[in-house]
């Protein structure tokens, strides 16, 4: 079983970064991204596990920054090659504006430029307020600021309105690399092919977290983005292998907060013909297990990580309840299954 070890971050990053620096697939540093002509940029082939980060808290509910560092080291030891900070898994709607900035800055400082970091930043009622917060988020040092698609148009509004708002935001945030996130909250706004084409052709967008759960739509988006620096990261575990084989640059599912080393293994092996049998087997296991880990997700992920040896507080801000005994038993069973996955896949 892969368990958490209290290691030196700099020592770990130094050892794990060999051969990785300079290959920031899709998530090119913003300065390099904006300096190159759009038609000349082509994504490289390295597939990335980009965890949608939890937020660690103290018992009194304040953010636990040493706990965040331990959590990040666990992700890194598990093969993470980038981070999505201040997302729904981070309970971003339960953080103050100041906490969103401070938390993201902590993530950026901890990574220290070795791996890319993105973070949500489209907060505010007006375009100007959104643009102001995006600039503040960029000042933390992130490689791209992510726009929540539901923040760009109301549920009843058309794609044209979404693109109009997005263009206004771009006009007010010149020089900042951006991304999109089909976040389920406040409602799930899917990026359609027409919007995908608009984002790709703008040259400003380098990251897209997809939650469509539709492999055909994913393939269509990937086709529209061929040859660009726009990268798709799939949040849907059910199409993980297929999306990677179709050209997705990585995965960002909630499963990465339970067994990130498994998601990293999938990213590394999905396209390898000699691993096809194991990949297909693992894909089936992940689909079955997703139904088990999805219930009481925030509380369950913390319980599971503690069972694996990572000491963080079990509490979160989005739930005042406790993890039910039945769900603890379910997760204990998943932990046993995880040991057998490690054995089959050769993960020590």
- Alpha-helix residue ranges (DSSP H) falling in 22-158: 30-35, 65-77, 97-111, 127-138
In terms of C-beta distances under 8 Å and separation of at least 24 residues, what long-range contacts does 165-169 make, across chains too?
Answer: 165/127, 166/198, 166/199, 168/127, 169/122, 169/127, 169/130, 169/131, 169/134
Measure the CA–CA gap between 126 and 31, rounded to whole angstroms. Answer: 27
Residue 48: which H helix or E strand, with range? strand 48-49
Q: What is the pLDDT of residue 169?
A: 98
Paired residues of 178 in beta bridges: 145, 205
> And the tokens for 115?
């791996």
Three-state SS at 68: helix
Q: Is 61 left (phi over 0), alpha (psi -120 to 50) or beta?
A: left
Q: What is the pLDDT of residue 46?
A: 83
Neighbour count for residue 164 (Cβ, 10 Å): 15
Measure the CA–CA gap between 230 and 197, rounded to whole angstroms. Answer: 10
Three-state SS at 118: strand
As to burial, measured by CB atoms within 10 angstroms (0-12 exposed, 13-18 middle, 19+ buried), residue 6 is exposed
* Domains contained in the chain, CATH given: 9-274 (3.20.20.70)
Q: What is the pLDDT of residue 41?
A: 37
Residue 144: which H helix or E strand, with range? strand 144-148
Query: Residue 302 in contact with residue 54, Cβ under 8 Å?
Result: yes
| CA 255 and chain centroid, separation | 11
Handedness of CA 196, 198, 202, 204 (dihedral sign): negative
Neighbour count for residue 58 (Cβ, 10 Å): 14
Measure the CA–CA gap between 225 and 228, rounded to whole angstroms. Answer: 6
Three-state SS at 303: helix
Q: How would you write the pLDDT of the chain (348 residues) with one tens digit per residue?
A: 333 333 334 433 444 433 333 333 445 433 333 333 333 334 446 899 999 999 999 999 999 999 999 999 999 999 999 999 999 999 999 999 999 999 999 999 999 999 999 999 999 999 999 999 999 999 999 999 999 999 999 999 999 999 999 999 999 999 999 999 999 999 999 999 999 999 999 999 999 999 999 999 999 999 999 999 999 999 999 999 999 999 999 999 999 999 999 999 999 999 999 999 999 999 999 999 999 999 999 999 999 999 999 999 999 999 988 999 999 999 999 999 999 999 999 998
Paired residues of 120 in beta bridges: 146
Residue whose structure tokens are 């498994």: 262
Measure the CA–CA gap between 248 and 158, rounded to whole angstroms. Answer: 27
Three-state SS at 25: coil
Q: What is the pLDDT of residue 254?
A: 97
């Amino acid at each position: 079983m892969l368990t958490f070890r209290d290691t030196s971050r700099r020592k770990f990053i130094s050892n794990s970064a060999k051969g990785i620096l300079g290959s920031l697939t899709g998530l090119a540093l913003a300065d390099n991204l904006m300096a190159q002509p759009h038609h000349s940029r082509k994504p490289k082939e390295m597939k990335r596990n980009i965890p949608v980060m939890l937020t660690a808290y103290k018992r009194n509910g304040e953010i636990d920054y040493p706990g965040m560092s331990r959590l990040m080291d666990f992700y890194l030891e598990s093969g993470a090659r980038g981070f999505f900070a201040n997302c729904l898994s981070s309970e971003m709607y339960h953080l103050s504006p100041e906490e969103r900035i401070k938390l993201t800055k902590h993530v950026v400082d901890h990574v220290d430029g070795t791996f890319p970091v993105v973070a949500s930043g489209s907060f505010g009622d007006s375009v100007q307020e959104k643009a102001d917060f995006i600039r503040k988020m960029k000042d933390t040092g992130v490689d791209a600021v992510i726009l929540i698609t539901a923040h760009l148009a109301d549920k009843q509004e058309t794609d044209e309105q979404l693109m109009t708002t997005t263009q206004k935001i771009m006009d007010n945030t010149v020089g900042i690399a951006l991304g999109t996130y089909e976040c389920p909250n406040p409602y799930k706004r899917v990026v359609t092919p027409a919007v995908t084409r608009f984002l790709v052709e703008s040259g400003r967008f380098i990251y897209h977290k997809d939650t469509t759960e539709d492999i055909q739509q994913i393939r269509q988006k990937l086709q529209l983005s061929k040859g660009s620096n726009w990268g798709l990261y799939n949040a849907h575990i059910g199409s993980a292998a297929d999306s990677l084989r179709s050209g997705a640059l990585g995965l960002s599912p909630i499963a990465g907060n339970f067994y990130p080393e498994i998601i990293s293994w999938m990213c590394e092996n999905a396209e390898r013909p000699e691993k096809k049998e194991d990949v297909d087997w693992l894909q089936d296991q992940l689909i079955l297990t997703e139904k088990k880990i999805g219930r009481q997700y925030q509380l369950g992920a913390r319980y599971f990580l503690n069972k694996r040896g990572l000491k963080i507080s079990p509490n979160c801000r989005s739930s005042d309840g406790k993890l039910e005994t039945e769900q603890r038993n379910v997760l204990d069973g998943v932990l046993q299954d995880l040991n057998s996955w490690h054995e089959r896949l050769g993960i020590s």
